[in-house]
Amino acid sequence: MESSQQSDTLLGAVLDGRYRVEDLIATGGMSTVYRGLDLRLDRPVALKVMDTRYSGDQQFLTRFQREARAVARLKDPGLVAVYDQGDGGPGGRPAYLVMELVEGGTLRELLRERGPMPPHAVAAVLGPVLSGLAVAHRAGLVHRDIKPENVLISDDGEVKIADFGLVRAVADAKITSTSVILGTAAYLSPEQVGTGDTSPRSDVYGVGVLAYELLTGTTPFTGDTALAIAYQRMDNDVPAPSAAIAGVPPQFDELVATACARNPADRYADAQDMAAELDAISEELGLPAFRVPAPRNSAQHNASAAYHSRMIEARTTAATPDRPAPPPILPPKNPPPQQQPPARPPLLQQTREFALDLDDVPAAPADQFAGIEIAEFEWARQRNRRTLLLWVLAILTLTGLVAAGAWSLGSNLPGLL
């Protein structure tokens, strides 16, 4: 993500007399995301401003408006809420979406910070994603662009999926955007690559690839170009995650295999179907509840820090108008040489170092997976079975004692009378 010229012209502007653009969060090939303020309701919002090259494309603007209205009707904790949209038009006025501001970061940023995830963390991420997709699928909408960049994690541990409908709007535009292909190549389903067809099963394929990446830290297919990556899935199945990293339960191998079947008919029918299977796996393995941590060094956090810093500086300046400006801070004449970043650790070591909470944890020994004993799930099931057996034996014993006492009392009742 890099800043753009558009960010220079929009910062400080007020869109449609209501939304003030305050800070750049991130920019991509087809849009730029800003931190904004709804002046009417006095609440922070996220402004997703489309690139100005789409402003004169009436076909794009029509599709953009239609998709925005459809997405705004969706309600689910796993979806980023859409509040409003700007139509854009001639004269370079860009189209934009006004969305819920998720204070946190993206799943991509979390993966870069912490590496692969243990199974219970994967389930904690996929659950809300599938819940949000299920609501959209029931409404007849398909996301078409499942990837870590479009999954947001709040500081409160909420997981939400964003950017419904944008890919379809861009695909229908007269302008070809190679960045869209580059951004989605690793997650496209075979039918999207071959014919361009999409359905809820296409989203299921994308979630399957996402699950593989969460478990292993890498996507299943690599190549020198986006097309090379995309076309590999036409002739190759997604490999089992356990083949790339030790300790992945076989149930997750089966989940990924079914979601990523090359024939759409062999996949889960939709996100709700896949969510039901994930719930069954979580119950079978006894996966503990998990609060997904937000990435620490995220673009959103940096934009928020810059905004609050400016607000503090503005209040300080207003309180002491005659205060002289501080002297500029000059760089040292002989700056210390920059150190090279450490080499990327082995894949299994990355998984062990994924923190189970907001604090870092030490690397786990070799018989652990992501800081968890590999045999923990089986041990937990055995413990639960033993506990259940003890309760059953206790109840049967108590029942037997009560029955024996009642029988003895009934037998001796005539003598007692």
- Going by C-beta distance under 8 Å and a sequence separation of 6 or more, which residues neighbour residue 138? 272
Q: Are 233 and 190 in contact (CB under 8 A)?
A: yes
What are the φ/ψ torsions at residue 27 (nearest 5 degrees)? -140, 145
Q: Is 145 a catalytic residue?
A: yes
- Going by C-beta distance under 8 Å and a sequence separation of 6 or more, which residues neighbour residue 383? none
User: Which contiguous run of DSSP H or E holds residue 35?
Assistant: strand 31-38
Structure tokens at 65: 């408006």
How far apart, in whole angstroms, are the C-alpha atoms of residue 206 and residue 213?
Answer: 11
Catalytic residue among 23, 51, 57, 145: 145
Structure tokens at 134: 């299920």
Between the CA of residue 12 and those of 8, 22, 218, 291, what are the distances in Å? 9, 6, 39, 36
Q: What is the DSSP string of 378-413?
A: HHHHHHHHHHHHHHHHHHHHHHHHHHHHHHHHHHSH
Cα dihedral 304, 306, 308, 312 in deg (nearest 10): 180
Structure tokens at 381: 């099931």
How far apart, in whole angstroms, are the C-alpha atoms of residue 88 and residue 54?
Answer: 9
Between the CA of residue 203 and those of 189, 199, 210, 401, what are the distances in Å? 8, 7, 10, 59
CA angle in degrees (0–180, nearest 5) for 133-134-137: 85
Residue spans of alpha helices (H) in 178-225? 178-184, 190-194, 200-216
Catalytic residue list: 145
